[in-house]
A = this chain, B = another copy of it.
Amino acid sequence: MCQLLGMNCNVPTDIVFSFTGFATRGGQTDHHSDGWGIAFFEGSGVRHFVDYQAAIASPVAELIRRCPIKSKNVIAHIRKATQGQVALENCHPFVRELWGRYWVFAHNGDLKEFAPRLNGPYRPVGNTDSELAFCYLLQQLRQRFGDSAPSQAELTAALRELTSEIAAHGTFNMMLSDGSALFTHCSTNLYYIVRQFPFAEAHLSDEDVSVDFSQVTTPQDRVAVIVTEPLTTNEVWTKFGEGELIVFVDGQPV
């Protein structure tokens, strides 16, 4: 099984603390060593890093730990190959453009007998069920709403239907963002936490690292972190329900 990490905030925030614990799972405290990737929205642009080396050994992961990139929406993924070989084109997250915005997607789980007909402009480059699901999602959104982006409420309703349709084929824990919101769907394992004033100290479960968020935040900051397994030992994480879709905007579920 792969691991997913998402972050959604009301002000651009760096993900160094969470990524430090998360990246350790790519080859050190866990066996997800078939590549990894991370995408940061910055305005409407995206910084996208993928690597098929284990996250623990990757020079790009090292760069991200050393050079904090501030973002309001981040999606990261560590891969344990189940479908599709170990190759750059199979590393999540995937990026495509729809309605003049970039969309970033990552998936945890396996889909069986999932072979939707792709008759639109989105085609997988690699051979994972995940990228296929992403292309199908975007195709269906474009088919439903045409050339103009719908409201967030309409989009959420459509994604609720589409994720549930895909999840009928297996496990579909997924994260999707267009830079304005983070859409998350849980089949089996997804947890979130909202950190806000008054901020406290957090201690990573994967590494002996703590951070006192009150020292690095302002009282207005709000950060939601969503992950397949809780990252810290001393905070209370909320587990998603099976089949639940939660949309995060400005650091909190809406």
**A48 at the B interface (CB under 8 A):** yes
- The secondary-structure label for the interface of chain A is mixed
Q: Whose C-beta in chain B lies nearest to the C-beta of A96? A: B97
How near does chain B come to A50, taking the closest CB pair, in angstroms?
7
Within 8 A of B (CB), among A96-111: 96-102
Instruction: Return chain B residues, CB-CB under 8 Å to A42.
Output: 88
B125 and A44 form a contact (CB under 8 A): yes
How near does chain B come to A40, taking the closest CB pair, in angstroms?
9
The one of B43, B91, B120 in contact with A89, judged by C-beta atoms closer than 8 angstroms, is B43
With A and B bound together, what is the CA distance between A49 and B48 in angstroms? 7
How near does chain B come to A146, taking the closest CB pair, in angstroms?
11
With A and B bound together, what is the CA distance between A126 and B47 in angstroms? 14
| Segment of A59-67, A159-167, A182-190, A231-239 engaged in the interface with chain B | A59-67
Question: Assuming A45-B50, A47-B50, is B88 touching A100 (CB within 8 A)?
Answer: no
**A155 at the B interface (CB under 8 A):** no
Q: Whose C-beta in chain B lies nearest to the C-beta of A124? A: B100
**A122 at the B interface (CB under 8 A):** yes
**A87 at the B interface (CB under 8 A):** yes
Instruction: Return chain B residues, CB-CB under 8 Å to A102.
Output: 89, 125
Question: Assuming A48-B48, A63-B60, A121-B121, is B97 touching A43 (CB within 8 A)?
Answer: no
B50 and A59 form a contact (CB under 8 A): no
How near does chain B come to A46, taking the closest CB pair, in angstroms?
7
Interface residues as binary, A78-97 with B (CB distance below 8 Å gives 1, 0 otherwise) = 00000000011111000111
Instruction: Return chain B residues, CB-CB under 8 Å to A126.
Output: 44-45
With A and B bound together, what is the CA distance between A50 and B45 in angstroms? 9
Instruction: Return chain B residues, CB-CB under 8 Å to A59.
Output: 63, 66-67
The one of B63, B88, B98 in contact with A63, judged by C-beta atoms closer than 8 angstroms, is B63
**A31 at the B interface (CB under 8 A):** no
With A and B bound together, what is the CA distance between A124 and B90 in angstroms? 25
With A and B bound together, what is the CA distance between A147 and B119 in angstroms? 8
> What 8 pairs between A and B have smallest CB-CB spacing?
A45-B88, A45-B89, A100-B123, A121-B121, A42-B88, A59-B67, A44-B89, A63-B63
Task: List, sorted by A's number, 21 A–B pairs whose CB atoms are closer than 8 Å.
Answer: A42-B88, A43-B87, A43-B88, A44-B125, A45-B50, A45-B88, A45-B89, A45-B90, A45-B91, A45-B126, A46-B89, A47-B88, A60-B63, A98-B121, A99-B123, A100-B125, A101-B125, A102-B125, A120-B121, A121-B122, A121-B142
